[in-house]
Amino acid sequence: MNDLTLIRKNLFRKKLRAILLTLSILIAFLIFGVLGSFNRVLNAGVELAAADRLITMNNTGFTQSLPYAYWGRVQGVEGVRNASHMSWFGGYYQEPTQVVQAFAVDPETFLAAYPEFLIPDDQRQAFIDQRNCLLIGETLARQYDWSVGDRVPLLSNIWQKTDGTSSWDFEVCAIYAPSMEEMSTAAAYMQYDYYNEALSFNQDRVGMIVLNTVDPAVNDRVANEIDAMFENSPAQTDTSTEAAFSQAFINQIGNIGLILIYVVGAAFGIILLIVGTSLILAISERTKEIAVMKTLGFPAPRIFRMVLIESVMLSLVGGLAGIGLAALLLKGLATALAGTLPGLAVTGGIFGIALAMMIGFGIITGIAPALNAHRVRIVEALGKQ
C-alpha cells in the first residue's frame, strides 16, 4: 500500500458519485476533442497557406468573376514572381449529389503556385500538355475508384457549353498526393482553355487570381498596387494573403474558434462547479478520517497533496475517457468526411492541450477541498463524533 492506494480507494469509495463525476468530465472532454479537431481541420487552410501567396478576387465576393485580362496585368506588377488563376467549375459526377470540387486552371502557373502538390513528373507534364487532362487528388481517386487513363465525364451545375450540354469529357492523367496530412486531396483540376473555349457564357473570365510574390515582405505593397490598378474598372479587386482569404472563407461558416471557446467554456464552467462542489462535500464527509490521519502523524501538506492528486486523478480518468471516445468517434467520421475535411483526428497537439486542461481542471476543482483538508483541526474534528 502507498499514498496512491489511499487516493484510489477514496476516489471510488462512492461508486455512483465517482461514475457521475467521471461522466461529467468525460462529456466536457469529448466535446473539446471533437470540436477541437473540427476547428483544426477547418483552419488547416490558414495554417497551410504559404506566406508568399496572395489571392486577388472580385471585391464584391468570390462568387463574382474577373476578366481574364487581369491575369496578364497582375503578372506585370513588380514583386510578383508567379501568377495563376482558378475558376470554380461547380462539378459533379453522374448525379448532382456526387459533388466533385473541380477548378479550371492554367496548369503550368498553377503547379508553380502550389508546389505542395506531389505529382510524378510524367503525369505533371501530361497535365500541362494534354487539353482534356484531369488532375485529381488521391481521396477523389479512391472515392470513385478512378485511376490514370480512365475517361471521366464531369458535369457542371453552373456552366453550359455551346452545344447545350453541361458535360465535359476528361481523361484522368495525373493524380496528386498531399505533402502534409491536413492537405485536402479531394479536388480535381482541368485546363482552363479546354473549359473556357466550350462555354456558352461567361467566357474569358476567371474566378480568382493566385499569385506568388518574390518575398512576403512585399505582400502589402503588391496587394495595394494590384487593387489600385483596378480601382476605376468595372470589376474592382480585393487582394489579400492566402491565409486571410482562407480565414474569411471559414468565417462564412461561422467562427468555429469562438464557438469552441463558448461551448467548451460553458461545459467546463458548469462541470467545474459540479465537480468542485462534489469534491468539497466528499472531503467534508471525510473530515474525521483526515483528522485521524493527522493524529497518526500524516503532515498537513501531504494530506493537501493527496486530495489534490485525487482531484487530478478524477479529472484524468474522465478526461482521458472523453478524449479516447472523441478519437474513436472521429475515426469513424474521418472516413466519411475524408473528402471535405481531411485529417480529422485527435492529434498529438489536441491531446497535449487536453492533457494540460485535465491537470488544470483537476487542480482548480481540487484546490478548495485540499485546502479544507489541510486546515482540519484534529481536536475539533474528533470532538464532533
Partner 1 sequence: MDTLYELTDLSKRYARGKETITIFEELTMTIPQGDFIAIMGPSGSGKTTLLNMLGGIDRPSSGSVVCEGVRVDRLSEGKLAQWRSQHVGFIFQFYNLMPTLTAAQNVELPLLLTKLSGKQRKERVATALDIVGLADRKGHRPRQLSGGQQQRVAIARAIVADPKVLLCDEPTGDLDRVSADEILETLQLLNKELGKTIVMVTHDPSAAKYAQRELHLDKGRFIEQVQESV
Q: What is the dihedral of CA 185, 187, 193, 196, to 10 degrees?
A: -170
Let me know: does 181 contact 191? Beta carbons within 8 Å.
no
Query: What is the closest distance, in whole angstroms, from the C-beta atom of residue 246 to partner 1 in the complex?
Result: 55
- For the bound state, the minimum distance from the C-beta of residue 297 to partner 1, rounded and expressed in Å, comes to 3
188 versus 376: smaller Cβ distance to partner 1? 376
Residue 299 CB, nearest approach to partner 1 (Å): 5
d(CA 148, CA 170): 11
The nearest distance, CB 17 to partner 1, in angstroms, is 14
Q: Which residue has the cell 470540387?
A: 101
Q: CA-CA distances (angstroms) from residue 5 to 88, 245, 261, 312, 373? A: 63, 55, 36, 15, 18
Please choose, out of 6-14, 26-34, 46-54, 160-168, the segment that lies near partner 1 by the rule CB under 8 A.
6-14
| From candidates 99, 199, 292, 320, binder to partner 1 by CB under 8 A | 292
Question: Hey, what amino acid is at 304?
Answer: F
Which residues are CB-neighbours of 375 under 8 A, at least 6 positions away? Answer: 300
Q: With contacts defined by CB under 8 A, how many residues of the chain interact with partner 1?
A: 24
Taking CB under 8 A as the criterion, the residue among 96, 296, 335, 348 binding partner 1 is 296
Instruction: Give the Cα separation of 343 and 325 in Å (integer).
Output: 17
Q: Is 16 in the site for partner 1 (CB under 8 A)?
A: no
Q: Contact between 379 and partner 1 (CB under 8 A)?
A: yes
334 touching partner 1, by CB under 8 A:
no
We find the least distance from the C-beta atom of residue 10 to partner 1, in angstroms, to be 6
Q: Which stretch binds partner 1 (CB under 8 A): 5-13, 98-106, 324-332, 344-352?
A: 5-13
91-125 burial, b for 16+ CB within 10 Å, e for fewer? bbbeeeeeebbbbbbbbebbbebbeebebeeebbe
> Considering the rule CB under 8 A, would residue 375 count as an interface residue with partner 1?
no
Binding to partner 1 (CB under 8 A) within 272-291 occurs at 288-289
Residue owning grid cell 498526393: 177
299 binds partner 1 per the rule CB under 8 A: yes
12/9 Cα distance (integer angstroms): 5
Rule CB under 8 A: say whether 371 interacts with partner 1: no
Q: Is residue 52 helix, strand or coil? A: coil
Long-range contacts (CB closer than 8 Å, 24 or more residues apart) made by 294-302: 294/376, 294/378, 295/378, 295/382, 300/374, 300/375, 301/374, 302/3
Residue 295 binds partner 1 (CB under 8 A): yes
Q: Is 221 in the site for partner 1 (CB under 8 A)?
A: no
Distance CA 161, CA 184 (A): 29
Q: Single out the segment in contact with partner 1 by CB under 8 A; choices: 2-10, 63-71, 140-148, 243-251.
A: 2-10
Q: How far is the CB of 11 from partner 1 (least distance, A)?
A: 10
Stretch of 3-11, 75-83, 226-234, 339-347 lying at the interface with partner 1 (CB under 8 A):
3-11
CB of 383 to partner 1, least distance (A): 8
- CB 300 to partner 1: min, Å: 7
Helical segments of 162-286, H only: 192-196, 219-229, 242-253, 256-285
Q: Which is nearer to partner 1, 349 or 383 (CB)?
A: 383
* Cβ nearer to partner 1, comparing 2 with 335: 2
Interacting residue with partner 1 among 112, 274, 300, 355 (CB under 8 A)? 300
Q: How far is the CB of 28 from partner 1 (least distance, A)?
A: 27
In the three-class reduction of DSSP (H, G, I as helix; E, B as strand; rest coil), residue 198 is classed as coil
Where is 91: in which H helix or E strand?
Answer: strand 91-92
Q: What's the closest the beta carbon of residue 32 comes to partner 1, in angstroms? A: 32
1 near partner 1, judged by CB under 8 A:
yes
234 by DSSP, 3-state: which?
Answer: coil
H-helix or E-strand spanning residue 73: helix 69-75
Please identify which residue in 144, 249, 298, 351 interacts with partner 1, judged by CB under 8 A.
Answer: 298
DSSP string, 110-157: HHHH-TTEE--HHHHHHHHH-TTEEEEEHHHHHHHT--TT-EEEEEES
Q: Is 385 in the site for partner 1 (CB under 8 A)?
A: yes
| Residues lying near partner 1 in the complex (CB under 8 A) | 1-3, 5-6, 9-10, 13, 288-289, 292-301, 378-379, 382, 385
